Amino acid sequence: MTTAIKLIDLKKKFGDTFITKGVNLNIPAGKMTIILGRSGEGKSVLLKQIIGLLKPTSGSIIVDGVDLTTLNDYELDQQFAKFGYVFQFAALLDSLTVFENIGITLLESGINRDVVLPLVKEKLNMVNLSLDTLNKYPSELSGGMRKRVGLARTLITNPKIILYDEPTTGLDPITSRVIHELMYSMQNKLQVTSLMITHDVESFQYADHIALLHEGVIKYFGDAKTIWESDNPYIYQFIRGLAQGPIQTDSTYFKK
């Protein structure tokens, strides 16, 4: 199994508080890995460090043999061309059309609209949206459509690694299934490395591996297919939503 992203003793603090407390994780290449964890555990913070939106306090992020934490801004930009990021809330720009939202990276780099248009159409097709959405604005779309536009925008640069932050949160079960199947088929078609944060147990069947983040470290990493058989006390409690177990569930948790 080839590793696409290797996280070594990764730490991140805000003020005096460490959110990421020493994450060690090998993310397999060409596979879908899920990161689970309670709300506020630092899942988005972890993803943002991998993509370079947040600078780690210490530790290493190795991609293709290069430690991203040692690079200057120019070198980082080159590396980050490999990544695609699907934001937690689609994060579309309301004043731009679907065409402009999807093509924004290319349009901003000065590529002509006529050149960008067929590329946007191709991605729109990949996410099963019809061409008549091109000139619509995000406010005219449903939540599921917005997620798909967000996905198409991420795909426009043909990333080798895609990071998804809760791609199905807030969607009804049927739309959620459609998005899952879309991500899964792209995963198989494009052989990308996918890393997905989710609270959705339905996601497990589409994943290869599952990791659990708790108290700033990875408490579990294993095969997605056998997750329900695991007796690791953290994952056992978490996926069943149990009150009893090593993960604290009383009200003091929220006062941290």
Ligand X SMILES: Nc1ncnc2c1ncn2[C@@H]1O[C@H](COP(=O)(O)OP(=O)(O)OP(=O)(O)O)[C@@H](O)[C@H]1O
Among Mg ion, ligand X, none, what does residue 89 contact (CB within 5–8 Å per kind)?
none
Give the number of residues in contact with ligand X, rule: CB under 6 A: 10
Whether 156 and 119 have beta carbons less than 8 Å apart is answered as yes
From 7, 26, 33, 41, residue interacting with ligand X (rule: CB under 6 A): 41
The tokens for 50 are 């991998």
Nearer to ligand X, 228 or 253 (CB): 253
Phi and psi, residue 248, nearest 5°? -65, 130
Nearer to Mg ion, 36 or 124 (CB): 36
Tell me whether residue 49 or residue 133 sits nearer to ligand X (CB atom). 49
Among 5, 45, 124, 218, which residue interacts with ligand X (rule: CB under 6 A)?
A: 45
- The option from ligand X, Mg ion, none interacting with 84 (CB < 5 to 8 A, set by class) reads none
User: Does residue 254 come out as left (phi exceeding 0), alpha (psi in the -120 to 50 range) or beta?
Assistant: alpha
Q: How many CB atoms lie within 10 A of CB 73?
A: 7
- 218 binds ligand X per the rule CB under 6 A: no
Q: How far is CA 36 from CA 56, 160, 221, in A?
A: 20, 22, 10
**Spatial contact of 175 and 146, defined as CB atoms under 8 Å apart:** no
Identify the burial level of 229 via C-beta atoms within 10 angstroms of its C-beta, where 0-12 means exposed, 13-18 middle and 19 or more buried: exposed
Minimum CB distance to Mg ion smaller for 47 or for 120:
47
Among 5, 23, 37, 193, binds ligand X (CB under 6 A): 37
Token pair for residue 162?
């895609």
Q: Is 44 in the site for Mg ion (CB under 5 A)?
A: yes
Residues within window 4-33 making contact with ligand X, judged by CB under 6 A: 14, 19
Q: Which residues bind Mg ion (CB under 5 A)?
A: 44
Q: Which residues bind ligand X (CB under 6 A)?
A: 14, 19, 37, 39-45
